Structure 1
Amino acid sequence: MPTDPRGLRGDAPLLDAWLRFGERTPAPFTIPGHKQRTDLVGDVVAGDVPLYAGLDTMKLSTGVLADAESRAARLWGADLCRFSTGGATHANQAVALAVAADGDRVVVSRTLHRSLLLGLVLAGLTPVWVRPDVDPATGLPLGVAPATVRRALAAHPDARAVFVGDPSYVGTVGDVAGLAAAAHEAGWPLIVDAAWAAHFGFHPALPRHPLQLGADVMVTSAHKTLPAWSQAALVLARTGRVDPARLDAGVEATATTSPAGAILASTDAARALLRRDGEALLGDAITATAEARDRLRAVDGLTVLDGPAVDPLKLTLLLAGTGADGNLVERDLLAAGLPVESADRDVLVAVVSLADTHGSLTRLTTALTGSLHRHRGAPRPVVGSAVYQVDPVQAMPPRQAFFAAVETLPTARTVGRVCAELVAPYPPGIPILAPGEQVTAEVLGALEEARRAGVRIAYAADPSLATLRVVNS
């Protein structure tokens, strides 16, 4: 029998609908094909209730989704909210379709996730790339400076919007208020991919979320730092500079027509929990994470990212000073049942959420400390990730390159050619090469460096990078 352990259903219409479905004995003559039977393929389908003819009628006559989205809009101070069952990937692509027209330029932070790159292809937009500042002491990105965006907008006055990702994958937080001012001075909206910031703004020790700082659109993942199902995300918008009908159309154009009700219900439940208990739960997690940072700082040579411009719930460690290889540390953590978000030779990232406790963080820090001692070696110099350092050379619009006739060549022979595919070290999924960009010796060197650091190369047709797909010249 489905349960509601924290008594949230009174403030969560989608959760209430999901629970009511399970409290009945349904015999549906609709999809999904498992028909709520778990004796066929097992509990893997337990709780899989559709939106249509599940949480609501096939005609959506009860309006539970619209009610839940309205409640989320009020909580985040937005004019409009749409839930996504396709993660921030779907949400980013929907926004790309909503804010400009085919052929338009937009200012885009190069540290945005690959989903926005494909959003540019879908919408036919041409990027004007801007880069974040990089901390020379750590090699990690800070934020895109408002002055950088102002220069880009001045050089390209036809640009129609500004897209940035904040906070970064490693937890650094930029000047979103300054970025909003820069975009608005030019008359254009600021869109923030805040996938890692669903908790921002709900505790005094946390940064304010992008809408509170003046952004026009905020995309966030409910499944990253809130207790929602994987793929749960939200698009939140203020509509003064964004057409709400166009945003709705963008969401619908790129969404599944069979949304998973459990994902939607979990988004609604997470929103209700955040509204009622978020500050207390986040406070406990923030305190436990601060204690974990203190314990880890005692490890000789280990740098623990911290400070007012760092998300208190993102635990990012720089290992170069310990001489330990992060790939070996990750192997130890996996063996201990403690997978982390990201690990390469030099950087390890652990995500903390409001579900974490002093006990879970103590377990992690104990395992980390032991592994770092076992794998300690001669200290290495800090080498920043190439993801944050390579400047793209745009040769043609991404959409044109994506649909162009292509040929596959040995990678060594592609220097000077136009790339036809997306190539990104993953995590974090930030591209080093994107469709329409020129392949350079610097780019190939950066990709090889990432491979040597133990990072998986994603999205390329040939993940070994022996070959690349380039536009047929």
Structure 2
Amino acid sequence: MARDGALMPTDPRGLRTDAPLLDAWLRFHERAPTPFTIPGHKQRHDLVGDVVAGDVPLYGGLDEVGLTVGVLAEAEARAARLWGADLCRFSTGGATHANQALALALGAPGDRVVVSRTLHRSLLLGLVLAGLDPVWVRPDLDAATGLPLGVPPSAVARALATHPEARAVLVGDPSYVGTVGDVAGLAEVAHRHGVPLIVDAAWAAHFGFHPALPRHALQLGADAVVVSAHKTLPACSQAALVLARTERLDAARLDAGVEATATTSPAGAVLASTDAARALLERDGEALLGAALDVVRRARARLAEVPGLVVLDGPHVDPLKLTLLLLGTGADGRAVERDLVAAGLPVEAAERDLVVAVVTLADTAATVGALVDAVVAAVQRHRGPARPVVTAAAFGVEPEPATTPREAFFAPAEPVAVDRAVGRVCAELVAPYPPGVPVLAPGERVTEAALAALTAARDAGVRIAYAADPSLATLRVVAGR
């Protein structure tokens, strides 16, 4: 144990015996070669500064150009064993790359897949790349908060009964705000229909590694899971893993999908940090996560004492994520965020009605305590009349598919005044946030109900996400349709 009651790991170099990519990265610096390979900075820091420090390529850096040493394959095999997968691939393109690789592994153009309406936009682009046709299912919505919960297995069962030709089920779980769904129930339904369950668990790389945390998706029966090592583990930005069991997935097809969408010049530092984070999680994860969970428990208790402030909590919430609902305080989350940034405490997200803070095993009682102090002061400073939840109407709008996302993506598009958009085919994703559930997606017909819900959310001060024109003065629609 060390500073602020948090468990301190040993020297990270002590991980190198269990992390082949980290060991290769350290060895590169220890021998200080004069490389005649990319990257073009050639390890000189006097040209553009230390911004390139630590930048070592995989090819000709961590390994030979022909990957003859096999350090990447060994690191991926170790991660597969840790998560209980048959196959693991590291990504230097984040969960975005991993989601798109999985989409390419699932079927042929024109095949249908059941997809959660809360999909990340990277998965929407995965559908476009693969030519897959979505059958949408919605998560439940918490009426008291306006936030999305998990997709109910009953909704997936209905979708698969209506579309027995569907090739897979794809969901995002946990949600961006930390709510956790019934992944085991979803896996049971998908497998009953003979199709794989794919889970975008970008925010859950830590799940399954402490008894107080939810089990991870593979433990719950999923066939593939995407996790972002850079989100909740101590890895570099863009570090992610795709982990799969291959009973219902073609391993060669998944490998091909990964290679088709990956850079051919992967950053060795990102790969080494992924390997190091995996080794740390395997060696010290339970102790480090336990210390972080204790800190967050105390933070939740203190924040819950603030009048009107709701701290998302309960058995179906990620215990490490601090999602604060401000409706009852009347404070504007964007004003709270400005105060936090001024105090040197930036948060993951801030909307008018909520603030989301990510806590990881790298945090301590001091860092989280400083955040809590600043939040309490900012909420008090900006307190005002309580506000109602305003996004439920938008959540209930039924989509009207007119064409596929792929056809809409490649079709000529044009912006039109919103009052002239009814009946046209939408060419973009449009979602009020929160809850982050799209009201319109590419290929869907713009309806009066959709525009009314979006306009009501905008007028109530809710941010309109993803749209090219967030003011909703215009919408991008398919030209000539």
Whether TM exceeds 0.5 here: the answer is yes
Q: Contact 2:22/2:273 (CA < 8 Å) preserved in 1?
A: yes
Query: What is the rounded CA distance, in whole Å, between the counterparts of 1:286 and 1:353 in structure 2?
Result: 9
1:222 to 226, 229, 234: 229
Aligned position for 1:163: 170
Aligned pair partner of 2:357 in 350, 363, 367: 350
Structure 1 counterpart of 2:36, which letter? F
Displacement of 1:403: 1.1
Q: Who is 1:120 aligned against?
A: 127
- The answer to whether the 8 A contact 2:117-2:138 is kept is yes
2:290 pairs with 1:283: yes
Match in the other structure for 2:6: none
Larger deviation, residues 117-126 vs 389-398: 389-398
Which whole-Å CA distance do the structure 2 matches of 1:227 and 1:427 have between them? 28
SS of the aligned residue for 1:54 comes to coil
- What SS does structure 2 have at the residue aligned with 1:129? strand
* Residues 259-408 of structure 1: pairs in structure 2 closer than 5 A: 259-384=266-391, 388-408=395-415
Structure-2 change in CA distance of 1:437 and 1:268 (3 Å): same
Rounded to whole Å, the distance in 2 between the matches of 1:287 and 1:219 is 27
Counterparts of 1:8-47 in structure 2, within 5 Å, are 8-47=15-54
Q: Give the distance between the partners of 1:428 and 1:64, measured in 2 at CA.
A: 42
Query: 1:394: how far off?
Result: 1.3
CA distance in 2, matches of 1:311, 1:252: 32
1:219–1:42 Cα change, 3 Å: same
Distance 1:174 1:387 in 2: 21
Is the Cα–Cα contact under 8 Å of residues 391 and 435 in structure 2 kept in the other structure?
A: no
Question: Structure 2 CA distance, aligned partners of 1:203 and 1:349?
Answer: 22
Show the counterpart of 1:418.
425
Whether the aligned pair in 2 keeps the contact of 1:422 and 1:433 (CA below 8 Å) is yes
RMSD: 1.8
Residue aligning to 2:7: none
8 Å CA contact 1:114–1:431 kept in 2: the answer is no
Question: Contact conserved, 1:113 with 1:429, CA < 8 A, in 2?
Answer: no
Name the SS for the 2:90 alignment partner: strand
**2:146–2:434 contact (8 Å) kept in structure 1:** no
Residue identity over aligned pairs, in percent, reads 76
Distance of 2:93 and 2:206 partners within structure 1: 19
Question: Match of 1:224, as an amino acid?
Answer: K
Matched residue pairs, number?
Answer: 471
- Alpha-carbon deviation of 1:338? 0.9
Letter aligned with residue 359 of structure 1: A
Query: Displacement of 1:25 after TM fit?
Result: 1.9
CA distance in 1, matches of 2:392, 2:37: 49
Q: Deviation of residue 466 (structure 1)?
A: 2.9
Q: Counterparts of 2:239 and 2:456 in 1: how far apart (Å)?
A: 34
Structure 1 residues 183 and 258: alpha-carbon distance in aligned structure 2, compared to 1, 3 A threshold: same
- Looking at structure 1, the residues matched to 397 and 369 of structure 2 have their Cα atoms a distance apart, in angstroms, of 38
Query: Secondary structure in 1 aligned to 2:96?
Result: helix
- Look up the equivalent residue of 1:21 and give its one-letter code: F
Q: What is the deviation of 1:364?
A: 0.5
Tell me the distance in 1 between the aligned counterparts of 2:435 and 2:389.
Answer: 19
Structure 2, gaps ≥5 residues long = 1-9
Contact 1:345 1:453 in 2 (8 A): no
Change (3 A) 1:68 1:292: same
Indicate if the aligned counterparts of 2:146 and 2:435 stay in contact, CA closer than 8 A: no
Give the AA of the match of 1:411: V
Indicate which of 117, 131, 140 corresponds to 1:133.
Answer: 140
Structure 2 contact 56–62 (Cα < 8 Å) conserved: yes
Q: Which moved more, 1:424-433 or 1:300-309?
A: 424-433
SS of 2:401's partner is coil
Deviation at 1:464, TM superposition (A): 4.4
Show CA shifts across 1:379-422 (max 9, x none).
12233467744432211111111111333322221111101223
Q: 1:188 — aligned with what?
A: 195
What is the identity, as a one-letter code, of the residue corresponding to 2:300?
R
Residue 23 of structure 1: how far off its partner (Å) = 1.1
Answer yes or no: is the 8 Å Cα contact 2:390–2:460 preserved in 1.
Answer: no
Does residue 70 in structure 1 map to residue 77 in structure 2? yes
The residue identity in structure 2 corresponding to 1:352 is V
Indicate yes or no: 2:58 matched with 1:51: yes
* Contact 2:468/2:476 (<8 A) preserved: yes
Report which stretch shifted further, 330-339 or 207-216: 330-339
Asked if residue 142 in structure 1 is aligned to residue 167 in structure 2, the reply is no
Corresponding residue of 1:104: 111
Q: Tell me the distance in 2 between the aligned counterparts of 1:300 and 1:402.
A: 47
User: Out of 159, 172, 186, which is 1:152 matched to?
Assistant: 159
Kept in 1, the 8 Å contact 2:16–2:23? The answer is yes
Question: Match for residue 201 of structure 1?
Answer: 208
Q: TM-score w.r.t. structure 2 length? A: 0.94
Hey, what's the Cα distance between the residues in 2 that align with 1:284 and 1:266?
22
When residues 276 and 167 of structure 1 are mapped into structure 2, their CA distance, relative to the original with a 3 A threshold, is: same
Alpha-carbon distance in 1 for matches of 2:394, 2:55: 38
CA distance in 1: counterparts of 2:426 and 2:410, whole angstroms: 12
Partner of 1:243: 250
One-letter amino acid of the structure 2 residue matched with residue 40 of structure 1: L
Quote how far apart the aligned CAs of 1:4 are. Answer: 5.3
Distance verdict in 2 for CA 1:460–1:86, change over 3 Å = same
Q: Distance in 1 between matches of 2:269 and 2:463?
A: 31
Shift of 1:325: 1.1
Counterpart of 1:258?
Answer: 265
State the shift of 1:186 in Å.
0.3
Cα 1:343–1:336 change in 2 (3 A) is same
Gaps of 5+ in 1: none
Deviation at 1:458, TM superposition (A): 4.9
3-state SS in 2 of match to 1:14: helix
Match of 2:357, SS? strand
1:327: Cα distance to partner?
1.1
| SS of the residue 1:191 aligns to | strand
Give SS of 2:241's match: strand
